[in-house]
Amino acid sequence: MTIQTTIGALVQAEPALTALGQLKLSAKAAYHVHKVTALVTGEVRHFHETRDGYITDLGTPADDGKSFTFTPDAALEFNRRVTELAAVPVDLSCTPLALGEFGDAKVSAAELAALGPLFADPTEDA
C-alpha cells in the first residue's frame, strides 16, 4: 500500500511519530511505527535541508551568528518557497498506522490528529 501525502503533512506528523516511538507497543506495532518513522524522517530531512538553504539564500546573518534577518521582500519570498515546498506530493510505501496497533498504550487525540494520512481512522469506513 502507498500513503499519498505532502511533505508539509509529514513535517507536522513527525513529532507525533516520535512520541509514538516512545510507547510500549507489541513488537509488530513497534516495528510498524519504526518503519513509518524511518520513511518520514528521510522526507522531512529533505524539507529541513531545503528550508535551511532558503534561509541562507534569502536572509542576512544576524550579529549573534546564529540567526538570520529578512527584508520584507525576502520574507515574502521565503514564505512562498516554503509553502511551495510543503505542498510537494510524497508517496510512502507503507501502510497507515491503525488504532488497534496501540493496544492499551496512552495515545492523545492530538497525536492521532497530527499523524494525518499516516493514521487509518477505522470510523471512516463506517
C-beta of residue 10 within 8 angstroms of C-beta of residue 43: yes
Degrees to nearest 5, angle at CA 46 with 44 and 51: 95
pTM across the whole model = 0.86
Rounded CA-CA distance 37/34 in Å is: 5
pLDDT at site 124: 57
pLDDT at site 126: 44
C-beta of residue 90 within 8 angstroms of C-beta of residue 45: no
pLDDT at site 103: 86
The separation between the first and the last C-alpha atoms of the chain, rounded to the nearest angstrom, is: 21
pLDDT in tens, the chain (126 residues): 899 999 999 999 999 999 999 999 999 999 999 999 999 999 999 999 999 999 999 999 999 988 999 999 999 999 999 999 999 999 999 999 998 888 888 989 999 999 999 998 766 554
How do beta strands 60-61 and 68-69 pair?
Answer: antiparallel
pLDDT at site 10: 97
